[in-house]
A = this chain, B = another copy of it.
Amino acid sequence: MSLIVQKFGGSSVADADGIKRVAQRVVDTQSAGHQVVVVVSAMGDSTDELLDLAAQVSPAASDAREMDMLLSAGERISMALLAMAIHGIGASAQSFTGSQAGMITDAIHGKARIIDVSPHRIRTAIEKGDVAIVAGFQGMSRDSNDITTLGRGGSDTTAVALAAALDADVCEIYTDVDGVYTADPRVVASAQKIDTISSEEMLEMAASGAKILHLRCVEYARRFGVPLHVRSSFSHNEGTWVLPSPDDQIKIQEGEPLEQPIISGVAHDRSEAKVTVVGVPDIPGKAAEIFGIVAGANTNIDMIVQNVSTHGSASTDISFTLPIVDLPDALAALGEAQERVGYESVEYNEKIGKLSLIGAGMRSNPGVSYRFFRALSDAGVNIDMISTSEIRISVVTGAELLDTAVRAVHAAFELDGETTATVYAGTGR
């Protein structure tokens, strides 16, 4: 008997039919001899409807505690309905709020971090033979006993955190696609579903723009050694296993000779902008000063490039990328500090794209960079910035060339499949 945590997003429980379909799936899993814990998001558009009401009653207020109270109602509705639907087909289930499930967080409303998970009520319920249904996305702050929400990727994180605390055998993330693909199928029609991927690679994929799993959920799963299985709620096909260690990978593949694929996939991201601070005095400490200013504006810097000063010049240029949404704050902060820092000007570009090639196998394959840059060059793609990790190469290009670049790289590493992938939409909370 395994203990399985199943997470269903808002699109899977968008209406009564969806809830009944999920109920059947959950009961089937239990009937196959497993203990089942289910994590649900709010129904379909219900979060947007609540946000809309909030905007109507108080256009200006940013009222994080009350917003959490409001939004957490969404999951209570979906989980209670799911419990009823499960009862309706003759199985037993109990639903639990975040606080009843022991999801203890800090008090940062709207983006709380989990600090402890004490799922004793969940354990009691599943040992009794019930399906335990838990509200995703929400918890209770340890200090104030207030309801908190976990922010983006919150329901996935709830599922992984519960799986870790319960020592579950697997955390299944149900979504509207079959799994993780070698590239976004909307851009590369021949992209293939990945059967297994290491959590290290999945982290790089998520950080590089792959939207199927949130970075935070993958980080949590990796840290606590939770195997993830990303799969479709509309089929019974195997999805993508995200495995925290090579040992698990071997275990899953059951004795097949494990040949690590060199490359797992290609991710891309259109959500960043590039900023260049021109004419920065070439004195030690100036880069730190600039990044201190930008960080002070609560922005997340991603890639950084500093041009080496040309011989004899007293100044240099510093470029970095950051989310487009953070651009106005960053520009304002830099503008205020111009005199103090002594730079000449700031340039920025929102029309950029980032392409990343990810694969744990590139560590030991010296030819990867060559093949990568050769493919881009052959496709006529100009490169603006480069950054690398041990298992990733990322480049910034003009936004208009991004799709071409993704297809070229995907083909160069022989990732193209025979079949055409199903095109998918974005995922919810």
Chain A interfacial positions (CB closer than 8 Å to B): 16, 19-20, 23, 50, 53-54, 56-61, 63, 65-67, 69-70, 72-74, 76-77, 79-85, 87-88, 93-95, 97, 100, 121, 145-147
A73 in contact with B70 (CB, 8 Å): no
B73 and A77 form a contact (CB under 8 A): yes
Most buried by B among A56, A79, A94: A56
**A63 contacts which chain B residues (CB < 8 A)?**
83-84, 87
Taken together, the copies of this chain in the complex come to: 2
Give the residue of B59, B72, B77 whose beta carbon is less than 8 angstroms from that of A70: B77
Q: CA of A137 to CA of B144 in the docked complex: distance in angstroms?
A: 23
With both beta carbons as reference points, the residue of chain B lying nearest to A68 in the complex is identified as B80
Measured CA separation A63–B95 after assembly (Å): 12
Residues of B within 8 A of A146 (CB): 100
Partner of A88, one of B19, B60, B121: B60
Report whether B145 and A58 are in contact in the complex, using a CB–CB cutoff of 8 Å.
no
Tell me the interface secondary structure of chain A in the complex. Answer: helix
Q: How far is the CA of A54 from the CA of B85 in the complex (A)?
A: 8
- Whether A69 contacts B58 by the Cβ 8 Å rule is no
User: How far in angstroms is the closest Cβ of chain B from A276?
Assistant: 40
Question: Contacting A58 at CB < 8 Å: which of B57, B67, B85?
Answer: B85
CB pair A57 B84 closer than 8 Å = yes
A227 to chain B, nearest CB (A): 30
B-side contacts of A66, CB under 8 Å: 80-81, 83-84, 87, 93-95
**A97: which B residues are within 8 A, CB to CB?**
69, 147
Chain B residue numbers with a CB within 8 Å of A56 are: 16
Q: Tell me, rounded to whole Å, the shortest Cβ–Cβ distance linking A176 to chain B.
A: 20
The complex places the Cα of A57 from the Cα of B22 at a distance, in Å, of 11
Q: List the B residue with the shortest CB-CB distance to A99.
A: B99
